[in-house]
Amino acid sequence: MEKLSKLEKIKRNGPVVLVIMDGMGLGREDEGNAFFQARTPNLGRLMGECKWLKLKAHGTAVGLPADDDMGNSEVGHNALGAGRIFDQGAKLVENAILSKDIYRSSVWEEIVGRNSGQKSFLHLIGLLSDGNVHSHIKHLYSIIQEASVSGIENIRVHVLFDGRDVPETSAHIYLKELEDLLAGYRERGMNYAVASGGGRMVTTMDRYEADWSIVKRGWDAHVLGKGRPFRSAMEALETFRSEKKGIIDQYLPEFTVVDDNGPVGAINDGDSVVFFNFRGDRAIEITKAFEQESFSHFERERRPHVLYAGMMQYDGDLMIPEKYLVSPPKIDRTVSEFLAQAGVNQFAVSETQKFGHVTYFWNGNRTEKFDEKTEEYCEIPSDRIEFNERPWMKAGEITDEVINKILSGKFPFIRLNYPNGDMVGHTGDLEAAIIAAETVDLSLLRILKVLRETGGVALITADHGNLDEMYELDKKTGKFSVDPATGEMRKKTSHTLNPVPFIIFDPGYGGEYELNGEISGPGLGNVAATILNFLDFEKPEDYLPSLIKVK
């Protein structure tokens, strides 16, 4: 790998601090925008006094298939850290399905050989929605269709309800569509059915080992058939909604579908399992439960001998899972790898919910550090509570760590992620989201004060929007969508298509640079080169242009 060339034009005494305000985009200034509604005097002052611009954080600008695809934290941090745009999971899977390469893979051939014309079952587990952040329902349908023509007679689908990357109570739409599809296959003699499920935030899809009980609930329901029993998934959905008014899909309890003989789809020896999510962070733990012989996170009761495969490989360093249908993007030569090679000390910090984003995803889907001597990571354990109940989360503790590292003088480059805007935005609670935005603003003030004293620079941005749209918008009228049953505006819990800010706080500015007006449609991928410039390095030749033009 080539070495960085020195720039020698921007010299600051203090560090360069990259502040990622997760989920805080720039949307319409109305009552549904928590960022606009919040009291954020510090960000307001920065945007009035400092150089800043808007960045694209969605669609093709971050490697997704189309510009109507919302950005997300995974692809956002990949782009921020890589300095170039790589085709991401959704696009890679879509291309593999269109080309049929996914069904020419040795893993798919192994699944077909194991299950076609046999009594064994193919189990498909994943997020049932078209949010295109962790999965897409059309990928599931494609697998079911290919399985049917390949002679696989027995399929069980284990559905995880979304309500986070799609409207908060839309599960019945996706479930009915799936049930109708499976009924059509049953009419043709196939034994295809839904077997279990639950909401994504309480069943199966934990991440960063924040709460293994979430994975255990999924294991019990999917594998052991021990969830609350219902005659159908739709009965489970309707019952949960009637029992707890106002519950949203992501928090629906786990369940198991049963008939007169018991669970219809427990996972047994000889079966095959495909986890059809393409995104890795919420797929790794359930994968470990299936694959690892030595496992101590919860009592599995039994571990069936199955052929397990992921839609993609979720962790390339740890080789999780061993078998997968579509190869993940190969992201190399990230900004942190260049800095490690140059001997520049780096510090990364967030709380558990976003720790992997400033480390694993930032480093190009790499778990390990590039250099143990120059890199230091800090993970602050997240609270195990719904985030709208404590919207300040761990912003104070993250800020404390950053200030300590600034004052140490040891780290020229520091990056941090405040998860508040995203994690609280996903709850659909506008008032809590307003507090989340205000929390980030107050925390930022503390960091800027120390940077001013030490002669440092802050680059302040976000990885995508979220709390900037807390109500669903009617695409035809542009007005808020109203629930006819309640007369209230529909809450929005998903990400947005809005741009994000990029603000340069540089108290030592002496005219050394200006904003680069030659970039057409700047995006997150331009941030890496900008970081290097502020650290007094030229960008690598193939990196996207810097957001500043050095004089």
Residue carrying the six token digits 């059509």? 184
> How would you classify the pairing of strands 262-263 and 255-259?
antiparallel
Residue carrying the six token digits 């000889």? 270
Whether residue 86 contacts residue 339, with contact meaning beta carbons closer than 8 Å, is answered with no
Instruction: Report the 10 Å Cβ neighbour count for 267.
Output: 27
Query: How far apart are alpha carbons 292 and 521 in whole angstroms?
Result: 45
Return the bridge partners of 70, or none.
Answer: none
Helix 430-454 and helix 395-408, axial crossing angle in degrees, nearest 10 = 10
Residue 124 CA: distances (Å) to CA of 103, 254, 445: 15, 16, 47
Kindly write down the DSSP assignment for every residue of 241-299, as one continuous string. HHHSTT--GGGPPPEEEEETTEES----TT-EEEE----STTTHHHHHHHH-SS--SS-
Tokens of 303: 């571990």
Query: How far apart are alpha carbons 309 and 256 in whole angstroms?
Result: 22
Residue 385 CA: distances (Å) to CA of 153, 253, 389: 42, 16, 7
Residues sharing a CB contact under 8 Å with residue 393, sequence separation 6 or more, in sequence order: 351, 353, 382, 383, 387, 419, 420, 423, 424, 436, 439
- 299 torsion bin: left (phi>0), alpha (psi -120 to 50), beta (else): beta
Q: Is 170 a catalytic residue?
A: no
- 83 torsion bin: left (phi>0), alpha (psi -120 to 50), beta (else): left
The catalytically annotated residue of 73, 142, 196, 443 is 73
Q: What burial letters (b/e) apply to 113-130, b meaning 16+ CB within 10 Å?
A: ebbeebebbbbbbbbbbb
Kindly write down the DSSP assignment for every residue of 494-542, as one continuous string. S--S--EEEEEE-TT--SSEEE-TT-SS-BGGGHHHHHHHHTTBPPPTT
> How would you classify the pairing of strands 500-505 and 228-230?
unpaired
Write down the H helix ranges in 116-170. Answer: 137-149
Annotated catalytic residues are 73
